[in-house]
Amino acid sequence: MLRFCECSNFLVHPGRIPTPRFIARPPRCRTLPANSRSNGAPTAKETQIAAVLPVSPPSEEKQEQLRELYDGNKKIESGDLKVSDGHTLYYEVHGNPEGPAALFLHGGPGAGCFENHARFFDPSFWKILLLDQRGCGKSEPTAGLEGNTTQNLVEDIEVLREHLKVESWTLLGGSWGVTLALAYAIAHPNRVSGVVLRGICTMRTEEIDWMYRGGAGSLFPEGWASFLSILSDSEKEDPLASYYKRLTSPDLDTVEKAANRWRRWEMTVMFSGKTSEKYIVKAGEIFNAAWEPIASIMKKKGGEKKPDKKNDDVDGGKAKPTRSISHAQPLLECHYSINGAFLDEPLIAGVDRIRDIPCIGVQGRLDFVCPLRTAFDLSNAWPEMELHVIPMAGHSMYDAGVKHALIEATDRMKEHAVHAS
């Protein structure tokens, strides 16, 4: 049985606590080199799950021990990559153009990438790739659902890898990005040298139901009541299906109201009251109350299109590019959730195919979007995985403890990335 270790006052190295059992790695299993460990941290074989950060707020002395994002991680290249079904993907390259490759997989689906995401990696070492997945960020068409499935996104990653002549790369995925990282690694294990996961999500039915069919409503009843308030009594029988119908409606007033309620519910669960009434901070970017990014998106696109009140460009419930960027994330999240992420089998069932890939997981104990249960289940199926449970941390990658653990994890992957290249 796996043991959880949490410490309220200081950093704990999991190898310095007794563990109930060890699970031998298969002969093919690639381990993290000993001298790649940060501050003597052990391999996954030595422990499976450990908490690594003090209870917030730490003392001023202990705050100095926490890692901050790397500086100097400027974009060195960007491009638009045409893929299938009329989609064009926006990508950026940061860091060292000659270094081992690392790919950041953003959440949502539909959240898009921001420059701060590259700052979780050492820019002097890594060649860092950011990719806006189909239908979001600076990729086109905005909020496009046609040809937008997990299988399509996995294929897109391969197209990008081939386009940039990358042999293999390290993956960092958060939330939905965990699902995509696992799906890609299972499909293309020889192209993955290491995996770092944050806010672990595998899009099982119980995970989707937790967020959109009332589970989390037991913790946030007022937020759940607000989420349901725009639905009729009959629609409340399946809120997820009802929201999908509204978010794909040809009437953009209906879409706007549904998108606003969807975002409000998501922010309630994600930040638990940390959101300001005047603005929202997410992924290092500032958004206004309508969820419009104030700087980067507007600068890239030269202004937001104002869609007509009636959206005639809808085919069979599929949203077309006339929809606003502010609709993209609610629509894409609903699209993937209602379809079970288009997965033929649970991702955890496929973990045996990737057990020889080094993996470090980082999970906030107070993550109510992606509760700890999923991380625990994944670690049971993947005993070589090293899972760090951060006390008093939630879903955000910018929580001090989560941020520290992610930077430590990408640093620990360095030497292994060299060996894999």
Is position 404 annotated as part of the catalytic site?
no
CA-CA distance, 421 to 417, in Å (whole number)? 6
Catalytic residue (one of 122, 132, 156, 367): 367
Catalytic residue (one of 395, 396, 399, 411): 395
Catalytic residue (one of 175, 193, 249, 396): 175
The token duo for 193 is 């040298």
* 256-260 CB contacts, 8 Å cutoff, 24+ apart: 256/324, 256/327, 257/230, 258/230, 258/330, 259/291, 259/326, 259/327, 259/330, 259/331, 260/290, 260/291
Is position 416 annotated as part of the catalytic site?
no
The candidate with the shortest Cα–Cα distance to 282, out of 363, 179, 135, 397, is 397
Is position 163 annotated as part of the catalytic site?
no
Contact in structure between 244 and 338 (CB atoms under 8 Å): yes
Active site residues: 175, 367, 395
